[in-house]
Amino acid sequence: MLPNRGQFVASSLKKTLQAASRSYAAAVPLTDALEESSDLRQPRKYAGDVKITKLENGINVASYDNGGSVSRLSIALNTGSRHETNSLQGITHLLKNASFITNNERTSLRTVREIQQAGGSLECAASRELLSRNAIFLRTKLGEVFENVAPGLTSPLFNSWDLSEVKAHCHAENSTLASNGTAVNLEMLHKVAYRNGLGNSLYCDELRVGSFSPSHMDEFAKSNYVGERLTIVGSDVDHDELLRYVKELLGNLPRGQAVQSAPQKYHSGEVHKHTSNGLTYASLVAEGAGLFHADLPTVTVLQRILGSGQYVKWGSNTLSSRLNKAASAVTQGPLLINSLNLSYSDSGLFGFHAIAEAQTITPVLKSAVGQVGAIAKGEVTAEELQRAKTQARGGVLMLSESNEQRVDDITKQIALNGTYTDPMQALDSIDQVSLDSVTQVAKRIFKGEPSLAVTGDTSSAPYADELF
């Protein structure tokens, strides 16, 4: 028999009240701690310190783990444009663009598809001292990524049809360079300042691109893809796991010899190259400090005193930049001026780069030289010095916050110097910079012969001896 209507309603109401009471109870704040297992009460531990291991075949492996879910990997070779011989100048530009072409183990299509399936991305980069392959991927996909990147080093292959695409890419990058006045200027500046070595261009000359054959590429790769020239850095990866993959996939690389390069010599010089009828691009520098020079902290603070760009997104750097303030007083036209501090393993360039109208570039450069002279005389307030030191410290700390920049910093230090200095030690060096040390470096900057590069509209551009 079915229950009567009254019993049915009472039963339904009871169930509704019970459900409501359970929902209400779930929303009431807890007064007592929930019981937890011992594992849950212990926070997950991460070893954030940099670990470095050198393998038997000379490969340097470094890593740190902050517990991130997205990892980075940098595989860098001491094979920059600085190390090119005269007959092979520009070949590292081609090698950069050939980083992920088909090799003896994997086609380029397979590499791309498998990296995409692993949720990763690949990029290649070349500097004057390093050539690197970089990857970003999910933390659990280290093995898949390494298996796709390693064959390009252990079994490279340079097919003529692949090399044609590589050369086309080089031509495209050269065209992009030609349209960037600042980039053209900096390439010319390195040439006149160093002549060779660091003076070698990052780009392969248009006349040379077609001269490289697969045999040239293969010979260069065999002599440079060796353990003593290889540095591998990973972020948010387990060090032991990274070591296991390096030994398994790159352990058969020959040890080879560490890169041999003569100490870089700085030469003064100047070059004017008319490239347009628009603005004038001018860079005036002298020898600065290398990455591992004792004066690098002082030079860094000096750069901040002079002004190295805006610190507020929509603001003006006129108030904090001495260069910009001085230059703005002599021109009302278009203007950009910043201090330059370019550091390499054993040398560096320090000065400033300006963009202005042709008729005003001379007073702009003279005003900048005047600011360096004023600092050399000690015309720096305690407030200016403290602000510059604070900005330099902030730059170091922000460097350590970005995984991309920190991996790049670790790679450079280990590859070029064999050791790693923690950012906290750099902060101590910046704190010790004094007004006297800043003035002494400023006196030295343009004491010798400077280097000047001018491009764009050079019709009214000054020569170096007219600026002092």
d(C-alpha 325, C-alpha 339), whole Å = 13
| Confidence band for 312, pLDDT divided at 50, 70 and 90 | low
Distances (CA, A) of 381 to 67, 71, 350: 43, 44, 22
Residue percentage of the chain with pLDDT more than 70: 88
Distances (CA, A) of 175 to 50, 90, 91, 193, 325: 40, 15, 17, 24, 35
Mean pLDDT over residues 258-272, rounded? Answer: 92
pLDDT at 449: 86
Distances (CA, A) of 163 to 104, 112, 133, 134, 221: 15, 18, 18, 21, 14
Average pLDDT, rounded, for the chain: 89
Mean pLDDT over residues 193-208, rounded? Answer: 96
Position 388 pLDDT exceeds 50: yes
> Who has greater pLDDT, 199 or 18?
199
| Confidence band for 402, pLDDT divided at 50, 70 and 90 | confident
| Confidence band for 387, pLDDT divided at 50, 70 and 90 | very high
Q: Report the 10 Å Cβ neighbour count for 360.
A: 20
Mean pLDDT over residues 282-289, rounded? Answer: 96
Contact 285, 451 (CB under 8 A): yes
Mean pLDDT over residues 420-448, rounded? Answer: 92
Residue percentage of the chain with pLDDT more than 90: 80
Residue-range domains of the chain with CATH = 51-250 (3.30.830.10), 269-466 (3.30.830.10)
Position 439 pLDDT exceeds 70: yes
**How confident is the model over 372-381, as pLDDT tens digits?**
999 999 999 9
Alpha-carbon torsion 431, 287, 200, 365, what sign? positive
| Confidence band for 180, pLDDT divided at 50, 70 and 90 | very high
d(C-alpha 91, C-alpha 74), whole Å = 21
pLDDT at 38: 44
pLDDT at 446: 85
Mean pLDDT over residues 173-186, rounded? Answer: 94
d(C-alpha 337, C-alpha 369), whole Å = 12
Mean pLDDT over residues 444-466, rounded? Answer: 92
Position 6 pLDDT exceeds 50: no
3-state secondary structure at position 58? coil
**How confident is the model over 61-116, as pLDDT tens digits?**
999 999 999 999 999 999 999 999 999 999 999 999 999 999 999 999 999 999 99
